[in-house]
Amino acid sequence: MKIPSSTLKARVEKVGQRLRAEDLGALVVYSTGTALGFTSHTHGYVRYLADWDGHNSGSVLIVIPDREPTLLISLPYLYQLAKETIWFNDVRFVPTYHLGREIVEILKPVVSRKRKLGLIGRAEMPAPLYEALTKGLKGAQWADVNRIIDELRTVKDDIQIANHRTAAEICDSMFKTLAREIEQGKSAYQLQADMEHTARCAGCEYAATWLTVGPVADRPRFYKEECSGVPQPGDQVIAGLMITYEGHWGHAVRTGTLSDPTDAQKKVFSIALEMEEAALRHLKPGLNLNEVQKASDAVLNKYYPQGEGLNQFRFRCGHSLGLDYEDPLLTEAFPQPGFWRPGNPRGREEEMPPVEIKPGMVFELHPNLFVTNVAGAVIGDMVLVTETGNEIMNRFPRDLIIWPESLTEQSNG
């Protein structure tokens, strides 16, 4: 479902009001496109304001209060697409090496009146572009103001939720594809290609998967070099899906086996599912978001105190989901475990202030554990906070799956 231009215009006007309130003369937003997938932390800003995807290139959006925005495109064929689809008129093709000079010319009149300017995307902006801005606008005072848009993105509207629902349905279809193809003698990377093909045919701009196959699942495996094996009876098969539909992320993970699971595999999966259920009980309106991961970790610590016996590889139990894979602000309530934080064993310098959970927030919950020489398990679902609690948006079975049988179960359902 496309975002109406009236909605996008209203978003820009809200940002303009915030700029005026903070005495900022303009906002420069640099973003990468969906080609970078979950490694980009800037794409969602331009998508939120302009519904624009730069795909395999960077784009710059300039917002000046009481004016239509300006969008700078660095690839000519994307410029043609933008001219046909963007809701405002000032869209310009500017080669990458001239972007800084173009921005400077646009902002010189603004700097003559107001020296304070807002900036989003500094961390992913090419160094020559940032240098051109600072040298060309020497009198400007730049401030990182991600929070201005971050705060507007925490609660999703009906259209955003509808797009997330579609993304969840596509994830379900991808799991069905895996269940259908897994006994065809294909390698793991070929099965990944099958699932990603399903997503692209359903209209996804971006589709990526990881597929862990082996007697003992040990970590997510993304790449051909590590996904060349053919699933065999007795193997664990864990599938992780990451897609965007109309810019909105879909994400889900399922764990299963290619034949009847062992008692050890059942036990490890039951712990992962218990971790998710604990998180779900705390993901309700009015509660503190910081308690969600704590609830999940408490279950893990009950079975594995201080992580004894666990593989060192583990990732956070969840994150906020939206126009970025890890939507900003709310994702901070889900700190990564120690493996991801070399040199910072505590993970946080101080306790996060309380964050109220509100209806309309969307999260991915994916508690996980990998037990050395025993088994691994991950269960991942898109979860919408409702007025009365929460709703799991994915419909594919959340049980420990025997993959070929899961397709029959879906058909019978």
pLDDT digits (tens, 9 = 90+) for 186-220: 999 999 999 999 999 999 999 999 999 999 999 99
Backbone angles phi, psi at 280, to 5 degrees: -60, -35
Sign of CA dihedral 4, 323, 253, 200: positive
pLDDT recorded at residue 9? 97
Residue 391 vs residues 281, 291, 365: alpha-carbon distances, Å: 11, 18, 12
Contact status, residue 198 vs residue 358, Cβ threshold 8 Å? no
pLDDT recorded at residue 139? 85
pLDDT in tens, 143-202: 999 999 999 999 999 999 999 999 999 999 999 999 999 999 999 999 999 999 999 999
Domains of the chain: 5-153 (3.40.350.10), 158-412 (3.90.230.10)
The answer to whether residue 254 scores a pLDDT higher than 60 is yes
pLDDT recorded at residue 412? 52
Rounded to 10 degrees, the C-alpha dihedral 35/37/41/45 comes to 60
| pLDDT > 90 in the chain, percent | 89
- Between CA 117 and CA 30 the distance in angstroms is 14
Residues forming a β-bridge with 250: 243
Beta strands in 220-296 (DSSP E): 236-245, 248-257
Contact status, residue 156 vs residue 237, Cβ threshold 8 Å? no
pLDDT recorded at residue 313? 87
SS3 content of the chain, % helix, strand, coil (to 5): 40, 20, 35
| Helix (H), strand (E) counts: the chain | 11, 16
pLDDT in tens, 280-335: 999 999 999 999 999 999 999 999 998 888 988 899 999 999 999 999 999 999 99
